[in-house]
Amino acid sequence: MKKTICLIIVFFFLCTIPLRGQSLSVVYSHIAKSEYITAFQILKSMLPQCKNHEEKVEILYLLGQCADNANDASFYYKEILKEKGNAYTDRAFINLAKISLTHEDWKAAIGYSNKLLKKSFSLYYSEALFIDAQAHFCNAEYFPAITSYKEFINISLDSSQRELAMLNCGTAYYELKQYSKAIEQFSQMQEENPNSNFNPYMLYLMGLCFENKAQYADAITHYKKLTNDYPYSQYSPLAEQQLIFLIEQGHYSSSLTTLPKIDELLNKKYIVQLAALESSTKAHKAQENFQNMGVKNTFIFTKSVNGKIYYAVGVGPYTTKNEALYKKNRLAEKNISSYVYKKP
């Protein structure tokens, strides 16, 4: 009996040696090889046995980094915040802010980023500033978004996110109907990044800004540059629609004679409207949702209802009402409601 007990004790001891002998260097080795599941399992086995405060916090941080879902990662980052006086607090805040932004929890993203922005010094200040701006922008809180974007642009001269910050800052000015400031911001972006991937969207918004300022010649110039330089962009059809609108309103320019298919486009009066929203940001989000639902060839157009401008998501345009009704019925089969809108 004693011999059996001794064998059990020896067996248990031998089984626990690998766990007790595990070091963080082994974990980092697995992480370097992208073996996150293995690293995560080792870290979980180490955590209950860890007595050293600094090592415990490091293990919690690595668990957050290796977790395969946002909920687990958030849990471990929040555990770090419970540990007083550690070197990983700022890292936990910035990662929680990133997770919140990704999952569209704007309030939480702003809260976590502000924890870093209120500090006298943080290595993650610039990154927190961008997240704060993005969260405010996505939540249609444009004034605080602009404040954070402007500071980020001023201090982050080499950041890969600087270009997006400039674009969104200009968009925020546009949403606030501060068209001159939007044009100024877009012009600065264009000067710094003449070959930006955001050029089609920026040209479209600049066209809208000039159009709203009744500077129709400048609006036409930007719309036409978009349709000529980026014919396959998703914003090219939108620019064509705005050009047609300007032609129909009598703001004609001889420079439009080279616009392709202008007669054909002018004859296409019917649009299958999917949604109408008060801001272009919401309209683009709705367009993305419809595209994810399998709706193809969507575009955004502006319409005036009782003197108020709406940004509508539509499919088309079509020459005849029957064509539009056919599309409307096909959408109904997918449980997508819509109605046929005839351009004035």
pLDDT score for 45: 92
Residue that finishes a domain, picked among 213, 244, 267: 267
* Residue pointed to by tokens 């997508």: 336
Tens of pLDDT, residue by residue over 109-143, are 999 999 999 998 899 999 999 999 999 999 999 99
Residue that finishes a domain, picked among 267, 289, 312: 267
Residue 203 lies in a domain: yes
pLDDT score for 4: 41
The count of structural domains within the chain is 2
Residue 274 lies in a domain: yes
Dist CA 93 CA 240 (whole Å): 45
Same domain, 288 and 318: yes
pLDDT score for 88: 95
Residue 146 lies in a domain: no
**Taking the model in full, what pTM does it have?**
0.71
Q: Where are the alpha helices (DSSP H) in the chain?
A: 2-21, 24-32, 36-46, 53-66, 70-82, 89-102, 106-117, 125-138, 142-155, 162-175, 179-192, 199-212, 216-229, 236-248, 262-267, 280-292, 321-332
pLDDT score for 42: 93
pLDDT score for 14: 34
Residue 151 lies in a domain: no
Residue that finishes a domain, picked among 267, 298, 327: 267
Please give the DSSP secondary-structure letter assigned to residue 13.
H
Segments forming the whole domain that contains residue 258: 199-267
Same domain, 260 and 272: no
Residue 32 lies in a domain: no
Low-confidence ranges of the chain (pLDDT < 50): 1-21, 254-260
